Structures are given as structure tokens and as C-alpha cells.
């Protein structure tokens, strides 16, 4: 089994820039970095947690780092298999379509970010 590291940033609300969009730690070509051993991924996070962290604009604190199975990381990194129907739109408060999700407005983006973060948190093998 291989593992990946998910990075969950924390932003002040409203997060109109999508700063809280979960990211999978990737190389310069946007390919997720995979670790053969859980302890290897965990030690990378431990190194990051020891470093001084400088907040970015609109960032409210140090990110949460998660170790996830590669299959779960790939699912989120690939946009839920590039299929928006993999989101639960029943909770949408879309301001564009009278509550029916458009999938493009700030309300819909917030719903997708929240569900992606929750998916990773629910499936995390380790959380810093």
C-alpha cells in the first residue's frame, strides 16, 4: 500500500480565493508524491511541523497535514474522478439557482471544498 500527504490550509472567512482547497503534496509537475511506508510519510510531516511556518495572505494558522492512502489522495487530487456528481449537492445553498446547485458559484465551491476536506479527514491514516 502506498501513501500520500494531504495539506489542509486554514483561511479566514470568507475564503473567496479557495485557499482552503485541500491539496495533495506533489512534485513540480503536479504529480502526487507517494510513500511506500506510512512511517516515511509521517516523518516528512514531523519535519514540517518542526520548521518555522510563515502564514500566507488570508491564512489563519499552520496547515493540518494528513497521511492518506494513495487511492484516497488520487480521488481528491483528480477532482473526484473529474465527476461533479460525486458531491452531495442536496446540502447546497446555491445563490444562483434558487438552491439548485450550479457547481460554479462561491456557495457551490465552498460546499465542494468542505466535502473534499471532510473526505480526507474521514479517510486519514494519520493527522498532525
- Polymer length of the chain: 128
Q: How much is the pLDDT for 13?
A: 76
How many folded domains does the chain comprise?
A: 1
Q: Which residue, 1, 92, 87, 90, is CA-closest to 38?
A: 1
Residue reference for cell 483561511: 11
Q: How much is the pLDDT for 77?
A: 95
Let me know if 21 is exposed, middle or buried by CB neighbors in 10 A (0-12, 13-18, 19+). Answer: middle
DSSP 51: S
Q: How much is the pLDDT for 62?
A: 95
pLDDT by residue for the chain (128 residues), tens only, comes to 999 999 999 988 766 677 889 999 999 999 999 999 999 999 999 999 999 999 988 889 999 999 999 999 999 999 898 888 899 998 888 877 776 788 888 888 889 999 999 999 999 999 99
- C-alpha distances (whole Å) from 100 to each of 20, 32, 65, 113 are 23, 33, 33, 18
Q: How much is the pLDDT for 15?
A: 67
Q: Which domain range does residue 79 map to? A: 3-127
3-state secondary structure of 26: strand
Amino acid at each position: 500500500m502506498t501513501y500520500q500527504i494531504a495539506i489542509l490550509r486554514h483561511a479566514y472567512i470568507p475564503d473567496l480565493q479557495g485557499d482552503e482547497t485541500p491539496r495533495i503534496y506533489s512534485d513540480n509537475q503536479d504529480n502526487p508524491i507517494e510513500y511506500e511506508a506510512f512511517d516515511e510519510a509521517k516523518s516528512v510531516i514531523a519535519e514540517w511541523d518542526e520548521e518555522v511556518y510563515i502564514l500566507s495572505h488570508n491564512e489563519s494558522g499552520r496547515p493540518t497535514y494528513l497521511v492518506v492512502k494513495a487511492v484516497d489522495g488520487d480521488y481528491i487530487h483528480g477532482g473526484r474522478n473529474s465527476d461533479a456528481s460525486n458531491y452531495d449537492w442536496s446540502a447546497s445553498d446555491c445563490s444562483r439557482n434558487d438552491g439548485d446547485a450550479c457547481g460554479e458559484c462561491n456557495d457551490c465551491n465552498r460546499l465542494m471544498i468542505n466535502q473534499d476536506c471532510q473526505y480526507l479527514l474521514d479517510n486519514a491514516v494519520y493527522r498532525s
